[in-house]
Amino acid sequence: MTGRGQWFDDEAGPLVRPYTVTRGRTVGAGQDLDILTLVATVVPGPRLRRTEPEYPEILRLCREPQSVAEVSAKLTLPLAVSKILVGDLIADGLLRFRAPAADVDTGDLTVLRAVLDGIRKL
């Protein structure tokens, strides 16, 4: 049974309040994660010591790189909860992450406009 199956009912919605999944925490164990941060499972990684069903499900999902937003959507958990859980796994050394690129500078914007113009001509 996946984490969703245990904590979610399609008709009733969540059976457990989100703050109980994070044990009342509103801040993660380390990194301040953006919704576009990519996370992937560390292979081989340390052994999972957490017992909550969401953690192994996150590790399963992240065998292929996923954004934090994708993990949240696939687990049907609020984004804030997913950020905390993913942060826990990063702190445990089970996930690696890559933050999204910084804002586009004006040089990159020129290239993007040229690409967009080329696409429009097709």
For 21-40, the pLDDT digits (tens) are: 665 565 656 667 888 899 99
Domain count, the chain: 1
Domain assignment of residue 33, given as a range: 3-121
CA-CA-CA-CA torsion for 18, 70, 66, 48, nearest 10 degrees?
Answer: 20
Residue 121 main-chain phi, psi, to 5 deg: -75, -20
The position carrying tokens 């040089």 is 107
| Cβ pair 84, 71 in contact under 8 A | no
| CA dihedral over 59, 69, 84, 19, signed as positive or negative | negative
Task: Provide the whole-model pTM.
Answer: 0.66
For 78-112, the pLDDT digits (tens) are: 888 899 899 999 999 999 999 887 655 556 778 77
DSSP one-letter string for 53-116:
THHHHHHHHTTS-EEHHHHHHHHT--HHHHHHHHHHHHHTTSEEEEPPPPPPPHHHHHHHHHHH
For 30-76, the pLDDT digits (tens) are: 667 888 899 999 988 789 988 888 999 999 999 999 999 999 999 98
